[in-house]
Copies of this chain bind each other. A is one copy, B any other.
Amino acid sequence: MLGYHDLSLAVKFGVQFGLFGGSVASLGTQRHHEKYLTDIGTLELPGCYAMTEAAHGSNIRDIETLARYDKKSREFVINTPTGRARKVYIGNAVRHGRMATVFAQLQIDDARYGVHAFLVPIRDREGKLRPGIRIRDHGEKLGLGGVDNGSIWFDHVRIPRENLLNRFAYVSADGVYTTTIPGDAKRFFTMLSTLVGGRISIATAALSAVKSGLTIAVRYGARRRQFGPVGEPEVRILDYRSHQRRLMPPLATTFAIDFAVKHLVRTYLARRGMMSREVEVLAAGLKAYSSWHAVHTLQTCREACGGSGYMAVNRFASLRADTDVFTTFEGDNTVLMQLVAKALLSDFQEQFEEARFLGIVRHVTGKAARAIAELNPIVTRMTDESHLRDPEFQLGALRYRENQLLVSAASRLKKRVDKGMDAFAAMNDCQDHLLALAHAHVEREILEQFHDAIEDVPNAQLSSILKTLRDLFALSRIEADRGWFLEQGYIEGVKARKIRTLVNRLCHEVRLQALPLVDSFAIPDELLGAPIALSEFATERSSRG
């Protein structure tokens, strides 16, 4: 909802309650909860989440800020050893933050214990910086002008021992380290789990921005006329096939992602205790998919509104600028998609851990190949509409793609490691493959959730239009990746052409419902703002009354 209003506000909100408050809630213990959560919730204590450093954004495990335990004073000493280690892009830092959750390498005597989170007061009640804290404004950004991002340096800042967020790790007064999660890697990833909520929020906020953009572009396209047959009124631009091709698949995709994100939110809220791997992977994948969808769709919408779309008053300037950073913050999209792929691969490996890995790969690949060979005459050439619109075909295609990419990625990695390549180099050598796998996984998840959601819709008319949207989403995705499906022999040329023809028709069907569909986003005119989208202009709607 905040995303419809102002994305800077949504981000400030996310930093305060999601990241800062969330880190205290999930990494702290009762004493932190009692002392801080109420004040954080009432905004009495505005805070920051200081993780990213100049030299380490994605690779958080190697951050260099140091938290040395001083046994004598029983304090931690937080220090920024070099310019590379300054905290950067920290929201709420420049103006409002009074405290920060600071991620730093814990050191006791000469021993290092990895990344831990500490509560560090950075300003007093009057808003004056506390001793040892230096903060610099990043200045103008591409967007999100309402967020006070800045760099923070810590010069041997002393904090009480109690300020370690100690849910998973504890340092006794005399400097003995204990932890409830013995594995360094597992503890580290548990510490990062606060980010999952943030990623879900980004996926949602990106969708809010897309819904605003599509509402503006669809209403404009349904009103704007340009060119036409000789002697007749000019044609509404939304009645041109190219315009439908540009806007209708993104509209269908927006509905599809929406159902998947709602499912993710339900799963996230229903979790017990630790963050499940399932939620973590889905949040990473949907954050990336939804934010890229936003960036591309908003660009398309802007262009689809021509000169009007370039005027700031029509909102695309801020919608684009404010969502742009969603693709790289709280986890760079490309890095997150690799996280998805790696999780799939390790699940796959675990599944067969007792068998000889390569043997399994050969077995599965062989089975898949046979399955396809059997499919060939029946399915690869089937082109009738009822087949193409059958969710079994659509889901089958996306499941097949994911499985094939998983099996072949595993097999390619194995081959490289067997040849003596180290794991890191092998991963890099297959990186494009891994990204394709992650992409295939996320699209399959989205389609499944969309499909399941439709099953629950009792109203036949509503169910019917949702099915059309699902068909358009699924088939336009298969069309976009038809190179892969053709390469695999999963479909033949004639089927690819039929899919294109059907996507054209589905674009037209969805266009006929496009105005009520964007109306269903229910964005109040006051928040939509754009003059070209306001109802007084939407003559087609009123005339249909």
Contact surface of A with B, Cβ cutoff 8 Å: 52, 55-59, 62, 88-89, 138-143, 225-230, 234-235, 239-243, 245-246, 295, 299, 302-303, 306-307, 309-313, 316-317, 320-321, 324-325, 327-329, 332-334, 338, 422-425, 428-429, 431-432, 435, 479, 481-483, 486-489, 493, 496-497, 500, 504
Contact = CB atoms under 8 A, between A and B. Distances in A.
B487 A241 contact: no
A179 B504 CA distance: 44
A59 B227 contact: yes
Contact of A317 (B57, B321, B328): B321
A432 B241 contact: yes
Nearest to A58: B226
A502 to B, nearest CB: 13
A311 B226 contact: no
Given A62-B234, A424-B228, A435-B242, A310 B325 contact: yes
A140 B313 CA distance: 7
A139 B243 CA distance: 27
A139 B312 contact: yes
A303 B317 contact: no
Given A310-B325, A310-B329, A487-B493, 10 more contacts: A89-B310, A142-B311, A142-B317, A303-B332, A303-B334, A306-B328, A306-B332, A479-B483, A481-B483, A483-B496
A142 B324 contact: no
Contacts of A55: 225
A311 to B, nearest CB: 6
A486 B482 CA distance: 9
A302 B142 contact: yes
A306 to B, nearest CB: 5
B313 A328 contact: no
Contacts of A338: 242
27 contacts: A55-B225, A57-B306, A57-B307, A62-B234, A139-B311, A139-B313, A141-B311, A142-B310, A142-B311, A142-B317, A143-B310, A229-B422, A235-B424, A235-B428, A242-B334, A242-B432, A299-B299, A299-B324, A302-B324, A306-B328, A309-B328, A310-B325, A481-B483, A483-B483, A483-B486, A486-B487, A487-B496
A316 B329 CA distance: 16
A55 B226 CA distance: 8
Contacts of A497: 487
Q: Among the interface residues A57, A142, A316, A479, which one has the most CB atoms of the partner chain B within 10 A?
A: A142
Contacts of A423: 229
A235 B422 CA distance: 14
A277 B58 CA distance: 52
Contacts of A309: 142, 328
A5 B541 CA distance: 46
Nearest to A503: B432
A311 B422 contact: no
B226 A57 contact: yes
A425 B313 CA distance: 34
A487 B422 CA distance: 38
Given A227-B59, A306-B328, A306-B332, A431 B242 contact: yes
A141 B240 CA distance: 27
A328 B307 contact: yes
Contact of A240 (B321, B428, B483): B428
Contacts of A488: 493
A-B interface, 10 closest residue pairs, ranked by CB to CB distance from nearest:
A140-B312, A483-B483, A142-B317, A486-B486, A482-B483, A229-B424, A241-B431, A487-B493, A242-B431, A89-B307
A407 B486 CA distance: 23
A439 to B, nearest CB: 12
B324 A52 contact: no
A104 B317 CA distance: 31
Contacts of A245: 431-432
A316 B142 contact: yes
Contacts of A226: 56-59
B425 A229 contact: yes
A8 to B, nearest CB: 13
Contacts of A228: 424
Nearest to A496: B487
B327 A59 contact: no
B482 A493 contact: no
Contacts of A500: 432
B504 A432 contact: yes
A328 B303 CA distance: 6
A258 B438 CA distance: 35
Nearest to A228: B424
A310 B313 CA distance: 22
A344 B139 CA distance: 50
A264 B47 CA distance: 57
